[in-house]
């Protein structure tokens, strides 16, 4: 075989191998994107009415009632941090913080509140979140607001989160900043009592947890500034 022919064969084999690797890589990425998504397939199917539950059983399934509480505005608590903060924690990599353990172990904001029977705690969280293209962080920033009894160690998320992002039982809300920064804001509330989805009266620490992610996209973390937590008791 002539020398230039051998070069062509080697070049062709290399090109074929590259195409195979690209095909496999694209297939793996597609599989990951299909398997890992914020809303679980079961929740999406349920919301769209696509379910395998027999019709005879469906008619006896009662959808969950909307949660709520109301009353006049009482005390107001504000806590904030205007500087820039960074966390290397990745949602899904179990860094250990928050309800479910998928957030930075150090809360980005914390304060204390006294809750009485029948109270309704309202929380509003806002922040300026940096984007991946500009700051090299993760694609998404995840947040969680919890209550922990004074003297306790187990935080509990309050109403307003999605319970299982990417199928993980660590409630969160999230934002994907498009380029430089985007403004994030969410509302939460918690009724005080002894019923379902309620917390008993007492003294609590209110924590704001955060992380970058999702974990399967590799290292990154989250960066942000202008964090503000506003609490109302009703």
**DSSP sequence for 30-53:** HHHHHHS-SS-HHHHHHHHT---S
Q: How far is 119 from 234, CA to CA, in rounded Å? A: 6
Q: How far is 112 from 126, CA to CA, in rounded Å? A: 18
Three-state SS for 126?
strand
What pLDDT, on the 0 to 100 scale, is given for residue 54? Answer: 55
Q: Are strands 202-213 and 222-233 parallel, antiparallel or unpaired?
A: unpaired
Q: Which domains does the chain have, with CATH numbers?
A: 76-233 (2.60.120.660)
Give the residue ranges of the chain where pLDDT is below 70: 1-39, 50-65, 68-72
- 206-to-70, 148, 149 alpha-carbon distances in Å: 20, 7, 9
What pLDDT, on the 0 to 100 scale, is given for residue 27? Answer: 44
- Cα 146 from chain centroid (whole Å): 13
What is 8-31 written as a DSSP string?
A: HHHHHHHHHHHHHHHHHHHHHHHH
Find residue 190's DSSP bridge partners.
121
Cα angle 108, 144, 100 (rounded to 5 degrees) comes to: 110
What pLDDT, on the 0 to 100 scale, is given for residue 41? Answer: 76
Element housing 76 (H / E): strand 76-87
CB count within 10 Å of CB 115 equals: 22
Question: Is the model's pTM score more than 0.85?
Answer: no
Q: How far is 99 from 79, CA to CA, in rounded Å? A: 21
What pLDDT, on the 0 to 100 scale, is given for residue 57? Answer: 43
- Give the phi and the psi of residue 67 in degrees, each rounded to 5: -90, 155
């Amino acid at each position: 075989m002539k020398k230039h022919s051998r070069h062509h064969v080697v070049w062709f084999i290399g090109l074929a191998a590259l195409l195979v690797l690209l095909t496999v890589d694209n297939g793996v990425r597609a599989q990951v994107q299909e398997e890992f998504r914020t809303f679980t397939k079961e929740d999406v199917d349920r919301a769209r009415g696509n379910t395998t539950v027999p019709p005879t059983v469906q008619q006896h399934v009662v959808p969950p009632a909307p949660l709520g509480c109301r009353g006049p505005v009482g005390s107001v608590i504000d806590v904030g941090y205007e500087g820039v903060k960074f966390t290397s924690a990745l949602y899904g990599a179990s860094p250990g913080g928050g309800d479910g353990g998928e957030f930075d172990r150090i809360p980005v904001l914390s304060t204390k509140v006294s809750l009485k029977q029948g109270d309704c705690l309202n929380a509003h969280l806002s922040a300026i979140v940096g984007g991946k293209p500009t700051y090299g962080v993760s694609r998404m920033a995840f947040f969680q607001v919890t209550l922990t009894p004074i003297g306790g160690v187990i935080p509990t998320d309050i109403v307003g989160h999605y319970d299982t992002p990417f199928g993980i039982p660590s409630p969160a809300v999230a934002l994907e900043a498009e380029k430089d920064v985007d403004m994030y804001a969410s509302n939460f509330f918690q009724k005080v009592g002894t019923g379902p989805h309620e917390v008993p009266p007492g003294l609590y620490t209110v924590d704001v947890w955060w992380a970058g992610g999702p974990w399967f996209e590799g290292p990154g973390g989250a960066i942000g500034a202008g964090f503000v937590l506003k609490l109302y008791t009703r």
